[in-house]
Amino acid sequence: MFSSTKHSHTYSNNINFNNYKMKTTNAIEQALKEKAGVEIDQLVSRFIQDIQTNITDKYRTSGFWYDLRESGCSDSPKINVKATLLDSVLKRMLTESHLDRMVERKSAELINKLNLDI
């Protein structure tokens, strides 16, 4: 049977409901983070593949380095990235800039979908 205590609910087999709820909530948050991370990975992979297919292969060019400095600013520092590392640099940049907000939005969408009042 379900019994109530002042700070937590427990089942008769001594499972602490609050701990279970926290583990479940953490698992859901982790799953949403992973899903958002996969979205970023897929976006970057498609972008890199498009560069490879539509520029490098099509025009037989070899971009060994990419200069990431701001356009039109000759005095901005030159930031070169190896083409082979561009994928991981973009994934890291997008993850650091957008992952938390993506998870917030996915959480809100899930809450709305489940009709929860939180």
Helix (H) or strand (E) holding 72: none
How confident is the prediction for the chain on average, in pLDDT?
84
Q: What is the mean pLDDT of the segment spanning 71-89? A: 89
Could you tell me if residue 100 is inside a domain?
A: yes
Could you tell me if residue 109 is inside a domain?
A: yes
Rounded to an integer, what is the distance from CA 64 to the centroid of its chain?
27
Task: With both helix axes pointing from N to C terminus, report the angle between 83-113 and 17-51 in degrees, rounded to the nearest 10.
Answer: 140
The total of structural domains in the chain comes to: 1
Nearest to 108 by CA among 98, 117, 97, 96: 117
pTM assigned to the model: 0.75
Q: What is the mean pLDDT of the segment spanning 3-27? A: 59
Could you tell me if residue 11 is inside a domain?
A: no
Could you tell me if residue 25 is inside a domain?
A: no
Could you tell me if residue 92 is inside a domain?
A: yes
Torsion sign over Cα 28, 36, 100, 78: positive
Q: Between residues 115 and 87, which one has the greater pLDDT?
A: 87
Give, as one character, the DSSP assignment of residue 75.
Answer: T
From CA 55, how far away is CA 36, in angstroms rounded? Answer: 28
The percent of residues above 70 in pLDDT, for the chain, comes to 81
Could you tell me if residue 67 is inside a domain?
A: yes
From CA 16, how far away is CA 27, in angstroms rounded? Answer: 17
From CA 106, how far away is CA 118, in angstroms rounded? Answer: 14
Give residue 86's pLDDT.
94
Domain containing 71 equals 31-113
From CA 50, how far away is CA 1, in angstroms rounded? Answer: 58
Q: Quickly state the pLDDT bin for 14 (edges 50, 70, 90).
A: low
Could you tell me if residue 70 is inside a domain?
A: yes
Evaluate if residue 60 carries a pLDDT over 60: yes
Could you tell me if residue 5 is inside a domain?
A: no
